[in-house]
């Protein structure tokens, strides 16, 4: 892959770790406007398994990092999401969703109370529209700072905590979805105990000019290997986690996406601050009365994967759903997928057929996740 571009193809951005990826032999691909490593020489399956058994280091610096400051920031941000932001305690993090007036999902994001500000991480492909969304609705209530000078690294896997304890002992005090400031390899970092693999792990925000030194320090630990986007996708799929633009989008509500757990009680019908976010009538209506479709896990029978876009049909051949993510699950040892089906067919063990290259392949609806999530809750 070359670094050039044509008039119809805008030049791709590079993360602060671009040179390191090349040094490590990464295969680079375009992703969300960036040159990103899809895999390293060991290959996707080995990278996936290493993360499940040891620890993997991911460059996620393409994600958007935004800081909101001001006494009105929490209330203002809460007006855009169906979660509790006002009562989010210092050093706590919460998963959230930007919704539209129809109840659809504009993006999913992480919100942290960094004590002196709110720290928000948004998806790479959505970060320009998310910034515009925030400025349109919040500019009069708080200061909005897009942090273009910071990289983001994710250290994931059962041995991540062991490594972090060596380099920054205070990291061991963190529980799942908590945050803290600490020095790692001489760099001032903002760390959350969270991630996108289903494993215990950490996401580390660090200044661009210190990112490579930090990454090299982490990779020098024997438990850690560099992991690319390919394994990141198979890991999150096994963990039953949504990929924005595939499993969730502007046409999908949180209830349809089986994300009811992400709708804070205080924002529901009987909550102290019920509603008050875009699409509240639709979302709360579905929460009370149900939605006509639901995101489910799908296990194809046999060895052939069933990929995004495959239609799901019932015994009579009527279309009843659609696959939104699919591939091989190395930990599961076979194909796995997620998608949407009519709610009446969302019960585990329901038998359906997926249409692959014009032929029917039997699949079963299963409960998510495919691999037990191992977040550290203390």
Sequence-distant (≥ 6) Cβ neighbours of residue 275 within 8 angstroms: 267, 269, 281, 284
Of 196, 154, 191, 178, the C-alpha closest to 93 is: 178
Confidence at residue 276, expressed as pLDDT on a 0 to 100 scale: 98
Confidence at residue 102, expressed as pLDDT on a 0 to 100 scale: 98
253 to 191, 241, 293, 296: CA distances (angstroms): 30, 15, 10, 14
Model pLDDT for residues 264-304, shown as the tens digit of each residue: 999 999 999 999 999 999 999 999 999 999 999 999 999 99
Res. 6: pLDDT tops 50: no
Q: Please state the separation of Cα 163 from the chain's center in Å.
A: 23
Model pLDDT for residues 201-255, shown as the tens digit of each residue: 999 999 999 999 999 999 999 999 999 999 999 999 999 999 999 999 999 999 9
Domains with residue ranges and CATH for the chain: 10-258 (3.30.1360.120), 292-366 (2.40.30.110)
322 to 296, 304, 352: CA distances (angstroms): 10, 17, 11
Confidence at residue 3, expressed as pLDDT on a 0 to 100 scale: 36
pTM of the model: 0.95
Confidence at residue 217, expressed as pLDDT on a 0 to 100 scale: 98
Confidence at residue 17, expressed as pLDDT on a 0 to 100 scale: 98
């Amino acid at each position: 892959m070359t670094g050039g571009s044509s008039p119809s193809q805008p030049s791709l951005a590079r993360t602060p770790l671009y040179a390191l990826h090349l040094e490590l032999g990464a295969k680079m691909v375009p992703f969300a406007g960036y040159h990103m490593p899809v895999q390293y020489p060991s290959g996707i399956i080995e990278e996936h398994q290493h993360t499940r058994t040891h620890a993997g280091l991911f460059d996620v610096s393409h994600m958007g990092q935004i800081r909101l400051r001001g006494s009105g920031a929490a209330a203002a941000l809460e007006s855009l999401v169906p979660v509790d932001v006002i009562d989010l305690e210092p050093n706590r993090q919460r998963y959230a969703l930007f919704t539209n007036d129809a109840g659809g999902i504009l993006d999913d994001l992480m919100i942290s109370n960094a004590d002196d500000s709110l720290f928000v991480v948004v998806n790479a492909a959505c970060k320009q529209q998310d910034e515009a969304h925030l400025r349109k609705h919040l500019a009069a209530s708080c200061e909005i700072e897009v942090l273009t000078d910071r990289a983001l690294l994710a250290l994931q896997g059962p041995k991540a905590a062991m490594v972090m304890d060596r380099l920054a002992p205070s990291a061991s005090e963190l529980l799942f979805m908590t945050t803290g400031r600490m020095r790692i390899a001489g760099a001032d970092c903002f760390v959350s105990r969270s991630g996108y693999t289903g494993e215990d792990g950490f996401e580390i925000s660090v200044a661009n000019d210190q990112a490579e030194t930090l990454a090299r320090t982490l990779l020098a630990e024997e438990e850690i290997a560099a992991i690319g986007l390919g394994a990141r996708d198979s890991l999150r799929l096994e963990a039953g986690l949504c990929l924005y633009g595939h499993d969730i989008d502007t046409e999908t509500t949180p209830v349809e996406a089986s994300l009811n757990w992400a709708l804070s009680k205080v924002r529901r019908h009987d909550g102290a601050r019920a509603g008050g976010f875009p699409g509240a009538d639709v979302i709360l209506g579905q929460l009370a009365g149900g939605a006509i479709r639901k995101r489910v896990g799908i296990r194809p029978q046999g060895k052939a994967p069933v990929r995004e876009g495959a239609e799901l049909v019932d015994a009579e051949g009527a279309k009843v759903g659609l696959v939104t993510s699919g591939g091989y699950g190395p930990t599961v040892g076979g194909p796995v997928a997620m998608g949407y089906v009519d709610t009446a067919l969302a019960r585990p063990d329901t038998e359906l057929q997926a249409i692959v290259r014009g032929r029917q392949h039997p699949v079963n609806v299963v409960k998510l996740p495919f691999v037990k999530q191992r977040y550290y809750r203390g």
